[in-house]
Homo-oligomer: A and B are copies of this chain.
Amino acid sequence: MPDEYVLAGDVGGTNLRIAAVAPAGIILHQVNALTPKTGVAADVVDGIVRAAELCISSMENPGRPAGFGLALAALVDSADGRIQSSPNLPELNALPLAETISNNLKLSVVLENDATAAAIGEHWLGSSQGARNSVFATLGTGVGGGLILNGKPYRGIDGTAGEIGHICVEPKGLLCGCGSRGCVEQYASATAVVRIARELLESDPGSSLSGNSNLTSKAIYEAAVGGDLVALDTFRIMGRYLGIAFADLVDVLNPELIVVGGGAAGAWDFFIDHVRAEIRGRAFKHPADRVQLVRAKLGDTAGILGAARVAFGHI
């Protein structure tokens, strides 16, 4: 039986994962489920509570967990445990989620934004260990971010900081889900990669990607590996835009590291030189020379490990 462990969870619009995590960051057991899609907050809460109970009961001789850290794709007020705004699960808006789950499980519950949790996880056990100031960027369906400043998670005054995916890189650019235009998310997410490739294919029908009606960022990556010019150009465009946003962050935050994770980070070899070129061309020399761009190490588990770290810190 583990001496001490916490529950840690990552709740997205589609998947819900709850793990039991030991103090050294070892995942003792993990339950993967689908996030209930009824649109009713109580069902989401129930899904989280049942996955948590299943996780505990599946362990051999479990003790009670010492706390529960929960990462969500939402703006969360980690101080009062309330969801401020949850675009993917709007039924959770304004819900005092930490208190509700705590009452169910009789555990101390602390919430964290999922990208901030991933930044904490990478800082604890991944690519940014020991870095005093680092930016974590995740390139998935959207572009998320988390900040570690002066060695600690930086959340801003209400816990909403780190939304680097909404740095403007084209003031009259594409409409973003956030309501703004030209956010880097529209140019450097996995979703954006597909859109950019589609647009390039219209004027370049000779590409190996032409006629692929089910285009994915993975297929574009594979075409790039094969030397397809449309695929290579897609990642060039994506990298340049990501570099504009990163150059802003380099000038404003002077970080040691920018850690890049998420599905689209898999195409690293095809975009990172363009990101670097844009940072060098735009940011001040000293911080541009200083910043290192590195790949995230922890993959999907960064958020859970970060949530666990927060739960341990909260105990």
Contact = CB atoms under 8 A, between A and B. Distances in A.
A138 interface: no
B156 A282 contact: no
A253 B157 CA distance: 8
A241 B149 CA distance: 27
Nearest to A134: B157
Contacts of A106: none
Interface string A252-278: 111110000000000000000000000
A90 to B, nearest CB: 13
A287 interface: yes
A99 B170 CA distance: 45
Contact of A166 (B147, B166, B169, B251): B251
A284 B205 CA distance: 39
B254 A168 contact: no
B168 A85 contact: no
A147 to B, nearest CB: 8
A301 B170 CA distance: 37
Nearest to A169: B171
Interface stretch (A45-53, A61-69, A120-128, A242-250): A242-250
Contacts of A166: 248, 251, 282-284
B168 A75 contact: no
Contacts of A133: 156-157
A176 to B, nearest CB: 9
Q: Which of A85, A167, A170, A256 has the most CB of B within 10 A?
A: A167
B132 A163 contact: no
A239 interface: no
B248 A159 contact: no
Contacts of A249: 252
Max chain B C-beta neighbours (<10 A), residue from A75, A133, A163, A181: A163
A186 interface: no
B290 A254 contact: no
Contact of A171 (B161, B162, B170, B251): B170
A311 to B, nearest CB: 21
B171 A254 contact: no
10 contacts: A85-B284, A145-B252, A158-B286, A159-B254, A160-B251, A160-B284, A161-B254, A162-B252, A163-B252, A168-B244
Interface of A: 75, 84-85, 132-133, 145, 147, 149-150, 152, 154-164, 166-171, 178-181, 241, 244, 247-249, 251-256, 281-287, 290
